[in-house]
Amino acid sequence: MDEELLKLFIEITQLGSFQKVAEKNFISQRAVSKRIKLLEETLQVTLFSRESNKITLTPAGDHFLHRAKQMLTMIHTTNYELRQLNVSANQQLSVGYFSPFDGAVIKKALFQLPTDIAVTIKESGVEHLVSDVLMGELDCAVILDNYGYHYDYQQLQLAHFPVHAGTMLMGVSNRNPYAGAKKIPERLLQEKPVVYYSNEESTYLKRAFESSLGTISSELNVVRQASFEQMQMLVGLDQVTAFYPGGVVETVQNPAEAITYLPLETKADQHFTFELIYKKQAIKPSLQTFIDLFSTQR
């Protein structure tokens, strides 16, 4: 279907007048009416109820409005994907990340890439990121490591280097009495569910958190939350607690969420790293450029 015709139809629904659309596009009202009549004839439905100085969408028109927006999105996405096919492999870079936190870490380097490098970004669970890099689906990815346990990169035949290091923090509601403390006691973790964010089914962060705490982990209820915004709301409402990577949580922190981030009062090691992983034998120019940008930041 004609992209310009779809745009015209959507514009009429937004401005509520054939005349206003005609004036905006520097064409006659008659031309607008003629094009919409052609669209209605093609679809074999009436899209607008026409009254004096007023037009409204018919039920069919309202349904088609949603479809028209979907079709425009599909056209734009397809055009972008087709353009990407013309970009050589050396000018393409696919990068994976697992949360808003490591996403914030790689953002600076991504924005510094030359504009002729076409970037594809994917958010997945850590397990999937590792397998995607191994299978060549991704050029590189950032994962959480050295927290609870450590990946054997030599066995995986993956290269890696840290792009961030810090201490894990606990998030508690400002309503909670411990929000005014210097550290969060371990017993609070036993009183409320502990949540973590992952946009897909993944237990990696759960296992890492539990492993980092040792024996106390058997007494905890650690659950996944698929929506980051919902997780933040639940923490802010003092219904749950959550763990966050220190040093980067500030980059996505919203004061309106009413959350305080504090270290955990524990003897267990709560240090972690974000590691950029990639295949040693698959370093193409775009990936090397990306790696070099991190080298200049360290």
Query: What's the confidence (pLDDT) of residue 114?
Result: 92
What does the domain layout of the chain look like in residue ranges? Answer: 3-85, 95-274
CA distances (Å), origin 236, targets 71, 89, 212, 298:
39, 45, 25, 34
The one-letter amino acid code at 255 reads: P
Model confidence pLDDT, tens digit, residues 233-258: 999 999 999 999 999 988 888 878 89
In this prediction, residue 79 carries a pLDDT of 81
Cα 249 → chain centroid: 15
Domain 3-85 grouped into CATH 3.90.870.10: no
Residue 266: what residue type?
T
Q: Please, what's the largest Cα pairwise distance for the chain? A: 77
pLDDT of residue 183: 96
Other CB atoms closer than 10 Å to residue 242's CB: what's the count? 23
Tell me if the domain spanning 95-274 has CATH number 3.40.190.290: yes
Angle at which helices 18-25 and 29-43 cross, to 10°: 120
The list of the chain residues with pLDDT below 50 reads: none
Which residue reads 């997945």 in tokens? 124
Give 6-62 pLDDT, tens digit per residue. 999 999 999 988 989 999 888 999 999 999 999 999 889 999 988 777 889 999 999
